[in-house]
Amino acid sequence: MSCRRRNMPRRKRGQDSMDNLDQPGTSKTVSGTKRAKTLTTEPIDYARLAQEIVKIQQSTNSEVSSPSLAGENEPAKTLSKSMVQSNTQPKGSGLPETQSQLPEQSSSSQQGNESPSTIETVVSQLLSSSAGSLPVHASVKSTANTHSTGLFENLNPQACQLLAAALSNSTKASYKRTWDMFFLEYPTINSLPITATVLSNFIAQLFSKGYSPSSISSHVSAISYVHKILSVPDPAEAFLVRKILQGCYHSAPNKDSRLPITAPILLKLVKGLSSSVQNLYTRILLKSVFLLAFNAFLRLGEIVIKSKNEQSKVIQRDDVTFQFQHKTPCAVTIVLKNFKTNKTNDLFQINLEASGNEDMCPVQSLWLYLKTFSHESGPLFQFVGGEPVTYAFVTKNLQNTIRFIGLNPALYKGHSFRIGAATHAAHLGYSENCIQKMGRWKSDAVRRYIRLQSFTV
């Protein structure tokens, strides 16, 4: 008697788990039909089955859902992905291109948890004066790689402290004020990067409120810093933003309050050094700086350094050559290699002749200075110990001497020598074109330096 095996259908993957889901009975399917025929003696609890299906769907959706949905079920410990999104908008979205689409976030979660962290919170942490407030565990994910690790979560405490110390407390406070102004203007923006259009509009608003171009540039730096530190595209690098900034400088009204140091004022300064400066060597040095800056139409930064890395950019000792007559210097030639408008690395030669007035002669004053300090290399103006003379040192003594001779030090700066030179040349009858060449101006900006109204006719 032969036994015939009944062919049973191959069970689909996961069928057992669905058939036996919290049921005491079992179910079987019969092949050969498109519909499965259930063979069971107990009814299925469809309500319970529906609940389990909803749970599975919710679990699946939470992995691919928007950040606003994910943040409703758990406390906000990371910077959500919605804070870093692309600037492009899907076609037909109905949103303006100047603002990224923002997911709505509930003020509180269904389970009483805190709302997700906002970009304002992150900015506050980054620009806090306390090193411990850095968002070390904040996760910043780019749109290109949504599975990248957090930007700060792998930094050790020492690295966090160094990052916090990168900016001074005053700079952090200044940057924080900028972001507070930005959030006040754009309260709905809660993502990075902000678009170049939004930043351009913010610049325009600052300009319309009377902010100077330099102040606006500082505010843009604050916006740029946060983007760079979070490794997201910086809108300040956009060509549009750079041109908007350039337009601020071109459109700003001229509010130059600096007055020219004219020849009569220069004479008072030179004579006032004997009373305002006690050290003889310092008096010799400052007198030479003052007279040379005035007579050679020099920017003060072309002869004294503003920082240590500028020692090679100022006039060097080797760039100065004297001509003598009966062993007395009668003229000096200065080769100027580095100056503001020199875009082609050309050399500019300055020739100064000695005058009969010993108090006002730049040639004799410079010769006395070099004989006294006797250095043969390096920057032209050095202290006795060989250190280059700094811009801050000269301007500080200039302010003290200006105050001593009875003038307002707030109105006379280091650039006042150059303004005074142009004004003095115009008073002597030199043409505007000639003054432009002597002062190395490449545009009609020289007109702003000629202040003939400073003279009493």
So where are the chain's domains? 12-48, 119-251, 263-318+355-360+369-454
Residue 18: predicted pLDDT: 44
Residue the block writes with tokens 């015939």: 4
157-162-168-172 Cα dihedral, nearest 10 degrees: -50
Whether the CB-CB separation of 221 and 242 falls below 8 Å is answered with no
Residue the block writes with tokens 């000695």: 354
DSSP notation for 404-435: HTT--GGG--TTHHHHHHHHHHHHTT--HHHH
C-alpha radius of gyration, the chain, whole number: 37
The H-or-E segment that residue 286 falls in is helix 280-295
CATH 1.10.443.10 fits 263-318+355-360+369-454, yes or no: yes
222-224-228-230 Cα dihedral, nearest 10 degrees: 70
Whether the CB-CB separation of 269 and 409 falls below 8 Å is answered with no
Residue 346: predicted pLDDT: 80
The H-or-E segment that residue 280 falls in is helix 280-295
Q: What 8-state DSSP symbol labels residue 146?
A: T
| pLDDT (tens digit per residue) in 325-349 | 988 999 999 999 888 777 777 888 9
Q: Could you list the mean pLDDT of each consecutive 10-residue stretch along the chain, which spans 457 residues?
A: 48 47 43 43 61 62 44 38 41 40 38 51 76 42 38 76 84 90 89 92 92 90 91 93 91 77 94 93 96 93 88 91 92 88 80 90 95 92 93 95 94 91 89 88 78 56
Q: Which residues pair with 84 in a beta bridge?
A: 192
Residue 25: predicted pLDDT: 45
Alpha-helix residue ranges (DSSP H) falling in 127-277:
157-164, 169-185, 196-208, 213-229, 239-251, 263-276
Residue 165: predicted pLDDT: 84
Please tell me the pTM assigned to this model. Answer: 0.49
CATH of 119-251, one of 3.20.20.80, 3.40.1190.20, 1.10.150.130, 3.30.720.110: 1.10.150.130
